[in-house]
Amino acid sequence: MGNVVTALNVSSITSGIPSIKSWRASCNNMLEYESFSVYGFHVVYPTTWKIEFDPKSDRLKGDVAFKSPEKENIFLSWGSLEKAKKRYSSLEEHANDSIDRIKKNPRVRKVETSQTKDTRIQSHKALFSLVKVTFSTPSLLPFTKTKEEVQEVRCMHLHCETSERYYVIYGAIALSKSQEHEAIFNNMMKSFKCHSQ
């Protein structure tokens, strides 16, 4: 939050002259990020995005939504690792179950996993999945075909023994806007810290 206040003060002083930092950021077509940290975990998000923290969240279970000005959201959820381990025999099974849930949406026509990748976050294995989801949108006009829309879903699953929690980072985006969203998702995933040192 301190960063936001500083940025506002600077821009009101320079009145319309972009700071070197934001000029560089726009030249590289890169967004500026700041930190979000709660209950011992940490992630970065673009400074232009809004945070919606589920008020029912506590240390063991909760959700936070990061919302872009265009309402393209990335969600971070956490929950009890003990419960997750009772339900799933592995991280892979946990991730597959999340993907299977997408299929239950009646508007979903097709679900295709394009990529799965193991990565490391702090000392744990994390699983990244990229899934292509085809939705059908019923036409409002009679005798016309239903429209189809393809979205890319990115998700990361992680089991952290140290904090005794599991984490899921999840985002869906229309295929046409996928590139910027991918960069933001990757930055959030790379910056993520599930437990304090």
CA of residue 197 relative to chain centroid, distance:
23
C-alpha to C-alpha distance for 178 and 44, rounded to whole angstroms? 19
* Residue 191 C-beta: closest distance to Zn ion, Å: 14
Interface positions with Zn ion (CB under 5 A): 122, 160, 162, 194-195
- For Zn ion, the closer of residues 109 and 195 by Cβ is 195
Rounded least distance, CB 49 to Zn ion, Å:
24
Return d(Cα 152, Cα 197) in angstroms, integer.
33
**Closest distance of CB 157 from Zn ion, Å:** 13
CB of 98 to Zn ion, least distance (A): 19
3-state secondary structure of 3: helix
- Residue 17, both tokens: 């002259």
- Select 68 or 163, whichever has its Cβ closest to Zn ion: 163
Nearer to Zn ion, 160 or 172 (CB): 160
Cα torsion for 40, 83, 76, 42, to the nearest 10°? 20
H or E segment to which residue 98 belongs:
helix 91-103
The residue among 123 and 146 lying less far from Zn ion, judged by its C-beta, is: 123
